[in-house]
Amino acid sequence: MPVNYFPAEFEVLRNYDKCIQCRACERQCSNKVHWFDADFGKMLSHDEKCVDCQRCVSICPTGALKIKPNENAFRKSANYTQPLMTEAYRQAGTGSVLLSSMGTPKDYPVYWDKILLNASQVTNPPIDPLREPMETRVFLGKRPTQMKFKKNGELDLSLEPSLALNVPIMFSAMSYGSISKNAHESLARAAEELGTYYNTGEGGLHKDFYRYGANTIVQVASGRFGVHKDYLNAGAAIEIKMGQGAKPGIGGHLPGEKIKEDVAHTRMIPRGTDAISPAPHHDIYSIEDLRQLIFSVKEATEYKKPVIVKIAAVHNVAAIASGVARSGADIIAIDGFRGGTGAAPTRIRDNVGIPIELALAAVDGRLRHEGIRNEVSIVAAGSIRCSSDAVKAIALGADAVYIATPALLAMGCHLCRSCHTGKCNWGIATQEPELVKRLNPDIAYHRLVNLVTAWNHEIQEIMGGMGINSIEALRGNRLMLRGIGLTEKELQILGILHAGE
Amino acid sequence: MKINAENLSFRELNEKIRSSKSRKIEIENMLGQRYTGSGCTGKDIHISGIPGNALGAYLTECDITVYGNAQDAVGDAMNDGTITIHGNVGDAAGYGMRDGKILVKGSAGYRAGIHMKEYMEKKPLMVIGGKTGDFLAEYQAGGRIIVLGIGFEEQCPVGDFCATGMHGGVMYIRSEHEPDHPEQVLCEDAAAADIKAIKPDVELFAKKFDYDANELLNAHFFKLTPNTNSPYRRLYVNN
Ligand code: SF4
Ligand code: SF4
């Protein structure tokens, strides 16, 4: 319909001198971009269906393909940009809410890139991680604040339940349903080999994965999907999801068409029905109510497992975290607004929440100020993109970080941001058996192990350079950080000095 | 086994229940202890007094009977078993329950049966003898909810915003007054076949609380079902 016309976002460039018409691209593209036209005797493409996932480019045996941004554009305006115009057309055509996936692509400040790390020179010399022990093991949970004695006068050495991580990195929540079974298996196996944890997300735990329980964090969200006693007891920790950085204040919605047999079984809902997680937990309207849910799962698991409460980074995050720390939670996970998602309304993803860097600094500062920092561990999430981001997060006050998008990248994701369509050509964010098959867990798990091992080496190197030999000594050590190009206010919130100071 | 709950914390009380060898447990002097029977299996618990919030959360194969009122979040995410309350229940009863039965002689507070689900042979049931507060069965995704409205015949026995976001399961309301419900929920007069379908449930309720099932069934019921199991399909457009 001409009135609803907008140009394709991408253009598929095919070098016909190179194309041998093997039709591999046609077979591989779940978006049905490529087809062979018998009349013309050549391969053609529906550019408007292309999401730039780079699958065809990567498999074309002759290197004949290239995907480029479409140069055909509406008249330029810095105010009414082309995406805004096409979105208005889409909504005028459907009357529907815009749905997107992965982290916001908008140009918001990335504070990680405006923070520089310190290194030792001359005095307090660097430590060589290849030669000297460098502790990256961390424990998450409550820390004892005072000595306790038993009735008979002996020292009470019992500790609150905790998680032990060999590396300060865990895999963040991604539900089975939003990602494929093969992707889940890869994460579970990698977590086991690395001595860290992956997170089921809110979609329940597939029966095949109970054996990775010792490296699993099971999540309880407002929809309570797949939550039952055995599930709660299967994991090493239980995470109560109050919010997600990419979509604070709203729930989740896995459309009926993605609820195939196996997903339905794991979530324990009928096949083909929508899996709706309401925006709030309908039994939580206060910190006191949150405490109730925390203790109901603690009772159900006999106080053997730490409870994580995951909150989205929003304006009042420090006050909220203070409440959560007093609610009985053992660990708080804070998810920044640049974090990824399998599906979120575009406007929410792109406009709601605050960056993890500021949220983390504010929370750590507040909990210290109130003298309750040892009551909880803090896990930072929502766009920890590389090892130096992780180091900066720890120096800003995190005990460990959650990563998800880098894990997806390790498994082959090319960040085409179309997970919500369920047609991921890399076999990750899909439930189509033909597509899921493309992700080989034997390879993917190994790549995940590689990624985290490499990051861990880098973390050790950076710490060594600072003359620090344990994560414990780095945690909250803001003297190791300097801002670059930041305002007074930003420096004040981050609690760091400017470079040169 | 008898447990005197006086001066016991919820943790101590639950510890006693868990470690008890006998199936039948009678708790006396209950005074608001929370989480009783949370994640419990293989017990038959009888409670005199008032249990606190989250009674029978994540309950599996286990029966709980309360000879009095219960507070909020009864049977949160319960998976099996039967909770029988000889009085009223507070808010958010049966939140996300997947199987088992909650039978309440009196009335329920706000948000009863929210996000009740079902899966294959798992079909939860909640029967409320009296009336309910607002937001009954919000986001209901499965199972059966029956509100009998005993003693509230002059009014609709359910509050406002009933069945908002309902996308599965079925609800029966014994009343002459049509409940407030959203567009995507179908509200019709229950047919003879429907009455037959809920007969065993009402009989169970009648037997527990000493009512005449036929008398209860011999009345007008509304039946609420979702128009579609994917009510929000057209809410979103891919961007
Ligand atoms: S995969 Fe490459 S060579 Fe094969 S048909 Fe497609 S463009 Fe041509
Ligand atoms: S997971 Fe798949 S669909 Fe999602 S961004 Fe990555 S490649 Fe695209």
Distance CA A301, CA A293 (A): 12
A237 lies in a domain? yes
Looking at the fold, whether A324 and A446 belong to one and the same domain comes out as: yes
Helix, strand, coil % over all residues of chain B, rounded to 5: 15, 30, 55
pLDDT for A265 equals 87
Tens-digit pLDDT profile for residues A194-231:
999 999 999 899 999 999 999 999 999 988 888 999 99
Report which of A329, A338, A451, A316 is spatially closest to residue A378, judged by C-alpha positions: A329
Report which of A361, A352, A365 is spatially closest to residue A380, judged by C-alpha positions: A361
pLDDT for A1 equals 53
B5 lies in a domain? no
User: What domain count does chain A have?
Assistant: 2
Looking at the fold, whether A242 and A316 belong to one and the same domain comes out as: yes
Task: Give every CB contact of residue A247 below 8 A, 6+ residues apart in sequence.
Answer: A312, A341, A344, A345, A348, A349, A352
What band does B233 get if pLDDT is binned at 50, 70 and 90?
Answer: low
Q: Of all atoms in ligand 1, which is nearest to the CA of residue A63?
A: 2
Q: For the residues A108-126, what does the mean pLDDT come to?
A: 92
In one-letter notation, the amino acid at residue B155 is: Q
- Phi-psi category of A219—alpha, beta or left, where left has phi over 0 and alpha has psi -120 to 50? beta
Ligand 1 pocket test target in A17, A20, A58 with most atoms within 8 Å of CB: A20
B50 lies in a domain? yes
Q: For the residues A259-274, what does the mean pLDDT come to?
A: 84
Q: Are B67 and B45 in contact (CB under 8 A)?
A: no
Residue with tokens 């493309």: A438
pLDDT value at B146 more than 90: yes
Q: Residues of A with CB below 8 A from B76's CB?
A: 283, 293, 296
Q: Which one of B18, B36, B71, B238 would you mutate to disrupt binding with A, by most A Cβ within 10 Å of its Cβ?
A: B238
A109 lies in a domain? no
B157 lies in a domain? yes
Q: What is the CATH number of the domain that holds A180?
A: 3.20.20.70
pTM: 0.93
Looking at the fold, whether A86 and A176 belong to one and the same domain comes out as: no
Tens-digit pLDDT profile for residues A40-82:
999 999 999 999 999 999 999 999 999 999 998 889 999 999 9
Q: Residues of B with CB below 8 A from A98's CB?
A: 236-237, 239
User: What domain count does chain B have?
Assistant: 1
B170 lies in a domain? yes
pLDDT for A371 equals 95
pLDDT value at A416 more than 60: yes
Rg of chain B's alpha carbons, rounded to an integer? 18
pLDDT value at B230 more than 80: no
Portion of chain B with pLDDT greater than 70, in percent: 97
Q: What is the CATH number of the domain that holds B198?
A: 2.160.20.60
Distance CA B50, CA B52 (A): 6
- Higher-scoring residue by pLDDT: B119, A141: A141
Task: Give the angle subtended at the CA of A337 by the CAs of A463 and A53, to the nearest 5°.
Answer: 90
What band does A129 get if pLDDT is binned at 50, 70 and 90?
Answer: confident
pLDDT, mean over chain B: 93
A162 lies in a domain? no
Q: Which domain holds residue A47?
A: 10-96
Q: Which domain holds residue B184?
A: 39-235
What band does A182 get if pLDDT is binned at 50, 70 and 90?
Answer: very high
User: Is the CB of A256 less than 8 angstroms away from the CB of B58?
Assistant: no
Q: Element (H or E) spanning B27, and its range?
A: strand B24-31
- Higher-scoring residue by pLDDT: A132, A186: A186
Tens-digit pLDDT profile for residues A20-46:
999 999 999 999 999 999 999 999 999
User: Is the CB of B18 less than 8 angstroms away from the CB of A94?
Assistant: no
Nearest CA to ligand 2 atom 4: A419
pLDDT for A271 equals 82
A296 lies in a domain? yes
pLDDT for B39 equals 83
Range list of β-strands (E), A301-405: 307-312, 331-335, 344-345, 377-381, 400-403
pLDDT for B232 equals 61
ipTM summary value: 0.88
Q: Phi, psi (5° rounding) for residue A230? A: -65, -35
Nearest CA to ligand 2 atom 6: A413
Q: Element (H or E) spanning B173, and its range?
A: strand B168-174
Nearest CA to ligand 1 atom 4: A22
Structure tokens at B119: 């899966």
Looking at the fold, whether A69 and A208 belong to one and the same domain comes out as: no
Tens-digit pLDDT profile for residues B26-79:
999 999 999 998 888 899 999 999 999 999 999 999 999 999 999 999 999 999
Q: Element (H or E) spanning B66, and its range?
A: strand B63-67
pLDDT value at A393 more than 80: yes
Looking at the fold, whether A67 and A134 belong to one and the same domain comes out as: no
A378 lies in a domain? yes
What's the A397 CA to ligand 2 centre distance in angstroms? Answer: 31
Of B92, B138, B237, the CB nearest to A96: B237
pLDDT, mean over chain A: 94
pLDDT for B70 equals 96
Give the binding-site residues of ligand 1, using a 6 Å CB cut-off: A 14, 19-25, 43, 60-62, 64-65
Distance CA B239, CA A331 (A): 35
Nearest CA to ligand 2 atom 8: A416
Distance CA A191, CA A210 (A): 13
Tens-digit pLDDT profile for residues A446-470:
999 999 999 999 999 999 999 999 9
Residue with tokens 């919500």: A420
Report which of B28, B64, B61, B30 is spatially closest to residue B45, judged by C-alpha positions: B64
Distance of CA A469 to the CA centre of its chain: 27
Of B10, B92, B139, the CB nearest to A283: B92
B25 lies in a domain? no
Range list of β-strands (E), A151-203: 163-165, 169-171, 198-199
DSSP string, A61-110: TT--EEEEE----PPP-SSS-HHHHHHHHHHHHH--EEEE-SS--S----
pLDDT for A439 equals 97
